[in-house]
A = this chain, B = another copy of it.
Amino acid sequence: MSLITVGTMAFDSIETPFGKVDKIVGGSATYVAYAASNFTTPVKQISIVGYDFPEEEMNELKRRGVELEGVEIVPDKKSFFWSGKYHIDMNSRDTLITDLNVLADFNPTVPESYQGAEFLMLGNLSPNIQLSVINQLKQRPKLIVMDTMNFWMDIALDDLKQVLKKVDVLLVNDGEARQLSGEVSLVKAAKCILQMGPKFLIIKKGEHGALLFHENNVFFAPALPLEEVFDPTGAGDTFAGGFIGYLAKTKDISFENMKTAIIVGSALASFCVEKFGPDRLKEINKADIDERISEFVRLVNFEIDLV
């Protein structure tokens, strides 16, 4: 049972109301790998970095069971760089700098050794790249999960819709679900998007939790109410990594098991935001994750005899 994850490995400079960091490690595939490797290994990474991406980060990922054969290292270019500043409520942010660097040339080749993987996580990237990875796989994975963002809806909607036809689970936030469907109501938006290809839709609402839609069923997972959200960067990717990692571990892609996977993803994301970058994810162990999941159970559990 193995998992391929495709996405960025990058540097971020982040300013939040709680502080500021320059050029720390980030990128969607980095967060997915740190989260998913708690549940399943190997995580077969597909990404691209420049000469400047730290070797110690690569070694740490390898130590956790992340295979890096699919990570291209470009010797004469810099890694992708993003810089952003969060507003006081942490729910919105301004992008200050986007330096594509190596990402401008990203045209991944799936290594032969990655063939046969049963789970595929398509991180937020150009739909063309996502489609290319799907098409290179000789055997269709058991489950394909796709992340995307409003940027691709703005500039590459037709390509995006092609990818949507080929995936099982789509992950978007509430604003993106509304943009993609043209519906204000999230229930209507979900019905519309489930006609576009994916059998499952997860709408992430940040501090307001996440909704899972499948056929006529809906499941809601809250976000843990936290005293301080230190840095939300990577929380969505960490959620995705926990979600697909748990599914790969349990080998069960039913709606029922996806509910649990969403709680696991939410638990991982709640750690991610406690420190800058992926730092907190590197500290936690199985007992920490179990304790956090128990907090989710306490948060939503109630007894009821019908009235």
- List chain A positions with a Cβ less than 8 A from chain B: 38-39, 88-89, 184-188, 205, 208-209, 211, 217-222, 225-229, 246, 249, 256, 259-260, 262-264, 286, 289-290, 293-294, 297-304, 306-307
Which chain B positions have C-beta within 8 A of A205? 208
Contact B299 A304 (CB under 8 A): no
Residues on B with beta carbons closer than 8 Å to the beta carbon of A262: 302
A293: B residues at CB distance < 8 A: 304, 306-307
CB–CB A186/B225 < 8 A: yes
Residues from chain B with a CB closer than 8 A to the CB of A218 are: 225, 299
The answer to whether B88 touches A219, judged by C-beta atoms less than 8 angstroms apart, is no
Contact of A307 among B209, B290, B300, B303 (CB under 8 A): B290
Cβ of B246 and Cβ of A225 under 8 Å apart? no
Say whether, besides A185-B228, A220-B225, A299-B220, A289 and B263 are in contact (CB < 8 Å): no
Q: Is the CB of B39 within 8 A of A307?
A: yes
Residues of B within 8 A of A302 (CB): 219, 221, 256, 259-260, 262-263
The smallest beta-carbon distance between A269 and chain B, in angstroms, is 15
